[in-house]
Amino acid sequence: MKTLSGRRILICGKGGSGKSSVAALLATALQNLNHHVVLVDGDGSNPGGLARLVLGATPGPAPLIEFFGGRERVTCPVDDPAPLTRASDLLPILDAQLSLPEIPPRYYARSGNVLLFQVGKIRKPYEGCDGPMSKVTRDFVLQGNYVTVIDVEAGIEHFGRGVEKHIDIVLVVVDPTYESFEIAARVTALCSLMSVAHAFAILNSVDSAEMETTMRHALEVRNVPVLGCVWFDPAVRAAGMKGNSIGWCSAGEDIAGIAQDLERNVASTAGAETP
């Protein structure tokens, strides 16, 4: 079994840092490493989301929260930390994991060996807190040796809702801004408090060796370990402007190397962990 099989990887970062693009490219990179991937769009405020980046289509699969009974049944994890359950029983999903055949196909889309799920989107005024969607993001686990890649909303609010509670790896995407450095430092500290085994920064949209050096130094003094660097790629920007999916691109090659480094890093400490 590959080291990342069964692991849950959360992608976070400052708004506009490119975390959704990194999540989409990481899913592809892991698939190319012969992993089966569950890609979860947990960002309720991004209209196109991962469906656009992966499939070139919106609105994507039906909201996964509806499978669990909708907002009427799923509670906010802050007000009610009780675990997520199926709509039909009270067994926690983490204790009785879901199998793919029990989930109707409308709730996911397939691209090769990547299964895309979309927790839900804010579509109407006065919908209320998106906390119930955070609970689905927090507890959704699919039975099998999938690598789960989860994209969440910008910033660190998800930590306040405990979305990282069952996460093995946190990757914070850092663009060349002071705010991004500060968020990365806060994420690293919060991961330590939550005993997340692996937390790394990924440098993104780097356009020169000088910029890379500056960013690495800014994170080093903040005690943020850097996993790798993604160089600025006009193809990613073009896809973002046109609303297209991200196909082959140089940024994808960078992410492929980062995926291999992540696998090696986790493997080096696997003996001291329980996957």
Q: Does domain 8-269 have CATH number 1.10.3730.10?
A: no
In this model, does residue 220 exceed pLDDT 90? yes
* 59-103 pLDDT per residue, tens: 789 999 999 999 889 999 999 999 999 999 999 999 999 999 999
Residue in the structure block whose two tokens are 């400052």: 14
Q: Which residues contact 175 (CB under 8 A, 6 or more apart)?
A: 13, 14, 16, 17, 18, 204, 205
CA 95 to chain centroid: 22
d(CA 14, CA 183): 7
Q: What is the pLDDT of residue 271?
A: 60
**CA of 132: how far to CAs of 26, 142, 243, in Å?**
26, 19, 28
Q: pLDDT per residue over 123-144, tens digit each?
A: 777 666 788 999 999 999 999 9
Q: Rounded to an integer, what distance in angstroms lies between the CA atom of residue 254 and that of residue 48?
A: 24
Looking at residue 121, its pLDDT comes to 82
Closest C-alpha among 63, 66, 36, 41 to residue 51 = 41
User: How confident is the model over 222-249, as pLDDT tens digits?
Assistant: 999 999 999 999 999 888 888 888 988 9
12-23 mean pLDDT: 94
Token digits for 218? 């800014």
Rounded Cα gap, residues 80 and 71, in angstroms: 13
Which positions ≥6 away from 167 have C-beta within 8 Å? 8, 9, 10, 150, 196
Lowest mean pLDDT among 46-60, 163-177, 198-212, 254-268: 46-60
Closest CA to 176 of 151, 150, 222, 213: 213
